[in-house]
Structure 1
Amino acid sequence: MQKKSYWNETVSIPARNPLAGDISIDTVIIGGGMAGILTAFLLKKKGRECIVLEAERIGGGQTGCTTAKVTSQHNLIYADLIKTKGEVLARQYAQANEAAIREYESVIRQNKIDCDWKECPAYLYADRKKTELHNEYMAALHLGIPARWTEDTELPFRVEGALRFDAQARFHPIKFLKAVSDEVTVFENTKVIKVTDNGVETDKGNVQAANIVFACHYPFVNIPGYYFMRMYQERSYVLAVKGAPPLNGVYLGVDQDSLSLRTAGELLLIGGEGHRTGEDTCGGQYGKLKSAAARWWPDSKEAYRWSAQDCMTLDKVPYIGRYSRRKQNWFVATGFQKWGMTSSMVSAMILSDMITGEKNRHEEVFSPQRHIGQDAAGNVCKESGHTAVTLTKPSGLPEDKKEKVRTTRCSHLGCHLSWNPEEKTYECPCHGSRFDCRGRVIDGPAQKDITAGGGDE
């Protein structure tokens, strides 16, 4: 079965021209995915002139690989946020994501967008982690989220408990993105080569801009910001099957190896089997999802399969705001964990306010300059140690793969690559860069193909 995203296979966004020479603009946004397009859309509504630069095609990155749940229910997060950040910031996080859902509804209604938007409940379910899930339920109630505890679900298997959030949603992200991107100026096949204090240099011309937004999944400028020390990346896998009974709600299991589930049209999307990028040397993820489909939905048949890549922060909260204290006109939206659709709208709302000089009441919890807490600080040390080990350990590539490329080191910061047999890709376990079987960059932060030889350092 060829790996194809249902979203990208069922909707095509018309191509846009590349940048044609030098221009000057108020705001330039790097990245034509959901976060970048929504930020441009909201800035235009506020009267700001902006453009989006996309290295390939609109929605061709992680937006097309999502499961497209729009929800404030982000796994077991609220009990942890109250513990590590306090009630005020935890409530900011919850309210920002709830506001994002309502903003999607407003945009869809006002612009009459047909994107299969459906309001529905979202569930976290547990078997072994019932106590942790119940703690999350109590935390949600404490923060004012109208949550409910239940043991009654549509699932074909028994659960010990489930946490239900009402008035959440699901949609077709590429249908939505197609409609919204029609309202903004996007230059495709325009790769940003360098970012300066007052603009960007691309392979098609230079853009002078008062404000620069990094909405390119993983920030590729290492210093300042140091995002490579504050994030890692994970991969997850999706199997779309025909012939399974539809689900009204969207579901995520909190136990290890549990499933993510939602209906999309006539398909059931079955997700899971995640791992840190670069740490899958055995493969078999799609096979495990197929086994789950055969067990619980025996009459189903595979229609699509695809995978996603997510940036994971050390304290479970995205980085949305100013890129660094040293670059007051640089802005960033990254580290969305597994919740890219809701976080994209949160980013657009916060960044469009910041750029136009408005105070956003939710911005503090997402600030890239925030104090991340003792537990997260420990994770910084852990990540630094992980990188140090990966820089020095021998390559994890099979012998038959080493001859395909000139180097077994990532072109980002020189970490040793490993081979993902499920995806047929070279992957960096330090920061998550990925390369195809010929050494060409698929995912950043790497900007150079490894066939060019050697790391940057």
Structure 2
Amino acid sequence: MHSLWWETCKIQERQTLEKDLETQVLVIGGGMAGILTAYQLQKSGKKVLVLEANRIGSGQTGNTTAKITSQHGLCYHGFLKKIGAEKARLYARGNQAAIQEYENIIKTEQISCDFEKQSSFVYGKSRADLEAEAQAAAFLGLPASLVRENLTLPFPVWGAVKFQNQAQFHPLKFLHALSEHLVIYEHSPVYKVEENTAYTKYGTVKAEQIIFTCHIPFLNFPGAYFARIHQERSYVLALEHGMKTNGMYIGSGEHGFSFRNYGPYLLLGGMGHRTGEDASLPKYQQLRNLAAKWFPKSKELCCWSAQDGITSDGIPYIGPYAKGKQNWYVAAGFQKWGMSTSMVAAMLLRDFILERENPWEAVFSPKRFSTADLSFLCKEGGHSVKGLTRQLLADFQKTGKPPVCPHLGCQLTWNPEEESWDCPCHGSRFDKHGNLLNGPAQTSLSPSCSLKK
């Protein structure tokens, strides 16, 4: 299952790290956040090296819907209550600045990536929720308004919150061009980091600063990011003969659908769920049924899925990695808005490394903690206990060992549509042969595991 982006862009492979190297800054992870961070630092005069476990853009960047927007669902009304007007305004400004920074880079580097300005919409049926969000966003200085007419949707809604002058693009065309002048090693997964040295199978990298931009850090401690972020999957169809939208759309609430155009194609997304749960229901088929209902003349070109890291308060962790790790930094938990927040992360991490002041630090700090975190951690702990309990019961009920996650031992669930073994505790995934697909696990499944479906 390849995304439309991989179908329409080929990126030449880089070599694997097979020697010991030294650099000023090491970036672990070659997705949008890692490549943007490396680019920003290299443009600022730093010597930077990127290590990617697979191919650059092979994770969430190659599976995104590629919307660059400061409109992150109906978030701003809630932010005003939870973090206050000052921090909510900084969050808004940071993501608005990200849109402009993309445009600046594309013009400066003369990148052809189908970048175009578009309005974005969050639609819904709740008048109260939409009115509250439009008022909050406008109060924070965002280009927001409440609209009820000219919504290009295949079903009725009460209205939508509209943001003007947002953007969309082809993420891999952009990533390909931006990465051309960076030092990158692919197929070079890091299995251990000690102080200022990262270890791969065939070589090491010693660096003054180390930045983790690998979706979710693979080190359990310090930081415990595996417990502070849970992972969710969502699904996309690229359709010919769908509909022409007048912007980028996403529904409010848990079961909203995403719509945007790319050339002649309509990208229809939705059916999100926590990784490792609800896998028995056919997500792609449900989307196909809706496509047939809404767009009976449509034809599917390709389909794909993405995996997003969700934090307790809806804000990514960007900044110093953990207490006692003075030269480590992290960017993780981008929710479903990784294109804009990747740029926020790149600009903020650049300023950390260059020892520049940046007001966004107060919003995105990984050090923050609130009562919401306590509730979130309790809930996540419940999922882990549930996964571990299932494994113990399975040990008693079955002959042989059931497939368990090598991360922390939770029993895996079979995902028939994607033919993968998924962990309901922390979101690691493995293909049908047991090979690692997604972390925080670092290793593939043990040969002793029974992979019977």
Flag whether TM exceeds 0.5 (same fold). yes
Quote the Cα distance in structure 2 between the aligned partners of 1:375 and 1:214.
25
Deviation at 1:394, TM superposition (A): 4.1
Normalising by structure 1, we get a TM-score of 0.95
- Residues 396 and 44 of structure 1: CA distance in aligned 2, closer, same or farther (over 3 Å): farther
Deviation at 1:137, TM superposition (A): 1.0
1:446 partnered with 2:444: no
Quote the Cα distance in structure 2 between the aligned partners of 1:280 and 1:134.
33
The Cα offsets for residues 321-364 of structure 1, whole Å up to 9 and x where unpaired, read as 11101111111111000011111101100001101111112111
- Residues 230 and 383 of structure 1: CA distance in aligned 2, closer, same or farther (over 3 Å): same
Quote the Cα distance in structure 2 between the aligned partners of 1:167 and 1:442.
36
SS for the counterpart of 1:450 is: coil
Deviation at 1:405, TM superposition (A): 9.4
1:158 partnered with 2:153: no
Q: Tell which deviates more after alignment, 355-364 or 112-121.
A: 355-364
Quote the Cα distance in structure 2 between the aligned partners of 1:109 and 1:405.
59
The 8 Å contact of residues 396 and 418 in structure 1, kept in 2 or not, is answered as no
The 8 Å contact of residues 27 and 49 in structure 1, kept in 2 or not, is answered as yes
Query: Match of 2:384?
Result: 387
Q: Tell which deviates more after alignment, 248-257 or 66-75.
A: 248-257
Name the amino acid aligned to 1:409.
V
Deviation at 1:453, TM superposition (A): 4.7
The Cα offsets for residues 119-172 of structure 1, whole Å up to 9 and x where unpaired, read as 010000002x33212211111012111211001212232220110000100000
Displacement over 3 Å in runs of 4+: 394-397, 402-407
1:132 partnered with 2:129: yes
The 8 Å contact of residues 404 and 411 in structure 2, kept in 1 or not, is answered as yes
- Residues 5 and 208 of structure 1: CA distance in aligned 2, closer, same or farther (over 3 Å): same
SS for the counterpart of 2:417 is: coil
Deviation at 1:261, TM superposition (A): 0.4
Quote the Cα distance in structure 2 between the aligned partners of 1:248 and 1:16.
39
The 8 Å contact of residues 391 and 402 in structure 2, kept in 1 or not, is answered as no
The 8 Å contact of residues 407 and 453 in structure 1, kept in 2 or not, is answered as no
The correspondence of residues 184-203 of structure 1 with structure 2, limited to 5 A, is 184-203=182-201
The 8 Å contact of residues 406 and 452 in structure 1, kept in 2 or not, is answered as no
Deviation at 1:71, TM superposition (A): 0.3
Query: Match of 1:425?
Result: 420
Quote the Cα distance in structure 2 between the aligned partners of 1:452 and 1:193.
20
Q: Tell which deviates more after alignment, 231-240 or 444-453.
A: 444-453
Quote the Cα distance in structure 1 between the aligned partners of 2:356 and 2:254.
42
1:121 partnered with 2:116: no
Query: Match of 2:282?
Result: 284
Quote the Cα distance in structure 2 between the aligned partners of 1:302 and 1:404.
42
SS for the counterpart of 1:192 is: coil
Quote the Cα distance in structure 1 between the aligned partners of 2:400 and 2:250.
39
Quote the Cα distance in structure 2 between the aligned partners of 1:374 and 1:444.
27
Deviation at 1:376, TM superposition (A): 3.2
The correspondence of residues 6-405 of structure 1 with structure 2, limited to 5 A, is 6-127=4-125, 129-152=126-149, 153-371=151-369, 373-394=370-391
Normalising by structure 2, we get a TM-score of 0.95
Q: Tell which deviates more after alignment, 93-102 or 254-263.
A: 254-263
SS for the counterpart of 2:40 is: helix
Q: Tell which deviates more after alignment, 169-178 or 358-367.
A: 358-367
SS for the counterpart of 2:327 is: strand
The 8 Å contact of residues 405 and 451 in structure 1, kept in 2 or not, is answered as no
Quote the Cα distance in structure 2 between the aligned partners of 1:39 and 1:134.
36
- Structure 1's unaligned 5+ residue stretches are none
Quote the Cα distance in structure 2 between the aligned partners of 1:442 and 1:405.
24
Q: Tell which deviates more after alignment, 249-258 or 51-60.
A: 249-258
The 8 Å contact of residues 70 and 96 in structure 2, kept in 1 or not, is answered as yes
Deviation at 1:237, TM superposition (A): 0.2
The 8 Å contact of residues 32 and 58 in structure 1, kept in 2 or not, is answered as yes
- Structure 2's unaligned 5+ residue stretches are none
Q: Tell which deviates more after alignment, 41-50 or 405-414.
A: 405-414
Q: Tell which deviates more after alignment, 385-394 or 14-23.
A: 385-394
Quote the Cα distance in structure 2 between the aligned partners of 1:234 and 1:297.
27
SS for the counterpart of 2:326 is: strand
Quote the Cα distance in structure 1 between the aligned partners of 2:322 and 2:136.
32
SS for the counterpart of 2:437 is: strand
The 8 Å contact of residues 407 and 450 in structure 1, kept in 2 or not, is answered as no
- Residues 212 and 430 of structure 1: CA distance in aligned 2, closer, same or farther (over 3 Å): same
Q: Tell which deviates more after alignment, 355-364 or 314-323.
A: 355-364
Quote the Cα distance in structure 2 between the aligned partners of 1:56 and 1:250.
30
The Cα offsets for residues 28-64 of structure 1, whole Å up to 9 and x where unpaired, read as 1001111100000000111000100011111111110
The 8 Å contact of residues 149 and 162 in structure 1, kept in 2 or not, is answered as yes
Quote the Cα distance in structure 1 between the aligned partners of 2:124 and 2:383.
31
Name the amino acid aligned to 1:32.
G
The Cα offsets for residues 6-45 of structure 1, whole Å up to 9 and x where unpaired, read as 1011101111112231111001100111110000000011
Name the amino acid aligned to 1:418.
T
Quote the Cα distance in structure 1 between the aligned partners of 2:224 and 2:377.
11
Identity value in percent: 48
Quote the Cα distance in structure 1 between the aligned partners of 2:413 and 2:399.
13
Quote the Cα distance in structure 2 between the aligned partners of 1:293 and 1:23.
51
Query: Match of 1:414?
Result: 409
SS for the counterpart of 1:220 is: coil
The 8 Å contact of residues 391 and 404 in structure 2, kept in 1 or not, is answered as no
Name the amino acid aligned to 1:383.
E
Q: CA RMSD in A?
A: 1.7
